[in-house]
Each structure stands twice: as structure tokens, then as C-alpha cells.
Structure 1
Amino acid sequence: MNPTIKDVAKKANVSIATVSRVLNNLTGYSDKTKQKVLRTIEEMGYQPNMIARGLINKRTRTIGVLFPNVSSSFSSALLHGIEEFAYNHNYSVVVCNTDEDGKRTLKCLQVLREKQVDGIVFASELLKDEYYKVLEAIQIPVVLVSSETNYPGVPYVKVDDRVAAYEATEYLIHKGHKRIAMIGGTKGDPIAGVPRVEGYMKALKDHGIPCMEEYIAYGDFGFASGCSAMEELLKRSLDFTAVFAASDEMAIGVLSVAARRGIRVPDELSVIGYDNVELAEMVVPPLTTVNQPLNEMGSNACEKLIDMIETGKISQNSIAQHHIVERQTVRALD
């Protein structure tokens, strides 16, 4: 039979209320008492009943996380930061895959509502009107990560995509490149697709380089779409010396196509990506890219959410710092 909170209190020679306060990180006991209770819990193998605790304090110490693609390297890095912070603060995480274009978002929100999560991290997707209305009805805190909104009471954590894309393009320009192609993300996507293309275009304009539509192809941020977009650019018979891809997975698609076509990187073609996922360092040659501190962004979003859950106060928006990571896929032109 599993030990109960009453059994823990009896063995530790403290009240049930004290054990409960220790479990919920509340005050009202000495550090010596806390250590004794924690030691007893470990010795007895006591597992708190989260459902029962939720009925008492109206919390389940569970947060929901929504991703459009949980299997991507991008999502994996964000989730690692979220889960690590949650675990260290005694919260568990429920992950939902909303699919591309948010096909299952409303259903996922309903699932999280039924599971009585205390809050939601909404990742890398536009917070549409219909989603916001559901979240208002649920009345639990929400934090966006790698997304943004003007809805009141919904803070976000993200990189300034226009500035980061501008600097990636400018980096290539400073290396002597003037014929720079771009593979953008999902066409019309207001969160990362449009701003990154706009940053690219502005950098070209500011340096007196014509921006031609035929030098831009679009993917969906994934590897396969990067391959397809690169093939499309090559079919156009353009004389470009560099490609800026709006995600690392698409940039790796560029490298794959270049390898199949016998195009040497960086000797004949320079490539820069965006995200700095773990895979960027593993490919050959290692990918030069824009670093988004994804782990840190996930952790920051989770920290904001838990603070909102526990204090009831709205957190502030955060702009994460990006930088360019130089590896081996860009060369300076003579």
C-alpha cells in the first residue's frame, strides 16, 4: 500500500499541515523541519496525489505546451528549456502537437482544459481570435514563446526577427556578397515568415543592392521545403553566390541539394541559417547561422508562466538576444 501524507507526518513527527506546506513550497517551518520532511518523503517513497491536491488548492501543478511541430529541432530546444524550469519548480508538462497551420489547436486547447492545467505556453504560432476567446473562457495564464500578440494580459518571449534577418543578410554583404538569394518561411506568416523576409529586403536596400522577387523562394521552415525551395532557385538560373534561409532546417536542405548537385559550400555557394539548432553544428560543413537562445527562451517563458500562476500578476514581454554564429558555410569573396 502506498504511503499517505498522514504516514509521512507521523514518521517525521510533524503535522499533516506542515508536510503539505513543504510540498507546496509555502513558508511557516524551519529549514531543519523542511529537510526532515523531504528526507522522510524520499525514504518512504511518498508520491503526492496531484489530483487530490488540485481539488484542495485548485491547482494541478501542470502546464500545457502547444507546438505546431513537436518533432522539429526548433521545438525540441524550446521544450528542453520549458521542461527543465518546470521540473525544477515541481511542475509537470503536457505537450500538444497542433500540427502545421494550427489544424488541431482548438482541440488541443480543449484537451488541456479537461486536464485542468494551471497555465499554457503557446509556442511558435499566431494567437488567433478564436484561440484567444477560448483562453479567456478557460481563465488561466498564457505566455507566448517565439510568437507575439497585442492581446492584453498575454506576454511573450521572442527574438526581434526583422533585426536578426537584417543582420544575417548584412553579414553576407560584409563578406562581399551582392547576389543573395533567400528562402523564406511560410509565405504570409506574420510571426517569423514575413518579418525575416522584410529584414532581408531592408538590408539589401540599405546597402544599395537591388531586391528582386525571383531571388526569393518559400518553404515552411522544414528540411524538405528547404530542398524544394533550393531546387526552385536553381531552376530559375540565377547567378547567386549566397543563400540566407529563414531556418536551420531549410538551410540544411540547401546544403543537401548543393551536395547532390556538386555545388561546393562555401567555395561556390555561401549559406547562412537561422535558429542555431543542435543539428547546425553536426552537418558537414558546420552551418553558419543566427543564434536564437531557444533553451533560454523556453525557460524564460516557463518562468513567466509559473510566476503568473502563483502571483496572479501579468508578466512583461521579453526580447531575447540573438547573435551570428560563424562556422564553415560562408566565405568572403575576393
Structure 2
Amino acid sequence: MEQQIRTRQVTKEYVCRVEGEFPREHIECIEPIEVVSYKIGVCKVSPTGKDCRTEFQRLSYNGKTSVVLCRPHTGRMHQIRVHLQYLGFPIVNDPLYNHMVFGPKKGKGGIVGKTDEQLIQDLIKIHNAENWLGMDGDAEYSMFKGRDKTDNDEEGGSQRNTPSPKEKSPVGSDAPRVTSPPSLIASTGYPSLRPLNAHASDSHTSMVAVDVMSKNITVCNSGLVPSDNCAVAASTQTSDGVRDYNYQARFMTVDEHCYECKVRYRDPKPKDLVMYLHALKYCGPGWQYETKLPEWAGEEWREPGDDQ
């Protein structure tokens, strides 16, 4: 199957729900696509991009949004989403390509109105404002910006690499700021990471790693041991069998010297975890696999809370 995909013997069909009334006639988009930034994952239509071809066919229209069948003939990054944006019919809940950051027309016709560098800066700023709560009350640190040395850092503290100037996160006065006490962030009461060898003095000693998805592991001074009431089995070491996905505080570890342990992110809402783009059918020489249409692809389906 991998060889068939590489040699383009596999046809793919996707279904999506887009804004507006998509044309009834068959649409083919052959605009080349280039990657603006691999780091944050954003592309755009560009004359200097790679050859690209996607076919579109409208399946239904409910008066506000359209369900569209998509057939990509190439495999560029975000190909369907970028071509739909270019045509002026972005996916309804696409958090990236259905956004005013691409300009008043959201990138329709390939018109963005800003340089690639400015687009990257604006996307990073939006991402930070919408998803990030800060570290120890300071919102100037983010996963896109290396942590600079402060007065509270020791001279021997670890240094983080900063991104290239093209992708460096801007620090603006309108960035979200959090004034929560440090105790809400670092002092959680969970056990800190312990060296597997209690007598080792090497700073690179391996730390205890805990599988938070499994119930059969507990933490002790000497490392990882099976729990008294759970046996180690094949099902607990793979995706098979019953697993407990509830939060269990005893499996949580926090390293007071770890930058990532102190970064706070907003929990996504259920609607943030779904995008109306669905892989419907794959066909190859002698085989075919097709899935059911998702609920949101129904002809009369409407967005929850939509009065129209």
C-alpha cells in the first residue's frame, strides 16, 4: 500500500463543510502551494510553490454552509485546506486558514497583504493569546520563544535555543498576563522526579518515567514497579485491553527545574478538537476502504446554536 501511495496509484476522497454556497459545477484547483513555515505548519498558494491539483464537487448546501467532496491528486501539506481558502470557501471551523490573520478576505485569491515574516509573527502572537496562560505569572515566555536569563536564574542554568528571527515570537503589551501565585503552577504536591540510582551524583542520571495511560505502574525510590492490584500484561503494554484514562495524581511528576513543567496552557473546548474535514474513501489496485459520513456532513445539519 505504501508503494501504491508513493506511485500515486491510490485515489483519495475527503468530505468537508465550508463557508458559503459552493458552486454546483465541478471545480478544479491547480494553484501551486509552498510552505511558509514548517515550524508552525502554515502554507499558502504561491507561484514559487510545488505543483498541486485538487478536484471539488458540492454535495449539499443548507443555506449557510456547503458540504464538499474533495479529491486531491497530489499530497502537499494542507492541500485541501489551502485550496479551499484560495477559492474563498474555507472550512467552517478551520482555526488556521479560516482566519482574518490572512487579511480581510481570509486569503481568498491568494491575497494576504503582508510578508511571510509578518504572517508568521501574527500567527504566533494569536496562538499565544488564545492558548497560552504563561509561566509563573509571566506571559512573555512561550514555546516559540527561548527563555532569556533573568535575575532569578543561576549562572549555571540551562539555556534554551531561540528560534530564527523569521519565526521569533513578538512580545507585545497586549500579550495575556497571568498573576497567579507560583504555588498554583510549580508547587503541586506531586512527587518530583527521582534518580533511578539514589547515590548517583551525575546530573545526567536517568529520571523516572511514568506511563500516565496505564494503571499498572507506581513510583518508588528505586524506579518503576508493578502495582499490587494490577499485573503487567500484553494488553497494558499496547493499545489492546481496557485502559483507565481518568486523571490519577499519583502518576504525575513535576521537576522544579524544568521549563515545560511550569508552562500553563488553556484546556481546549470540545469544539476545538474537531475540524469538519474527514477522510472518506481510499481506493487502490484491487482494494477499497470507505468510512461513514460524519454527522456534520448531513444535508440538513446545522451548527449547534445556529438560529438560521
Tell me the TM-score normalized by structure 2.
0.25
**More strand per residue: 1 or 2?**
2
**More helix per residue: 1 or 2?**
1
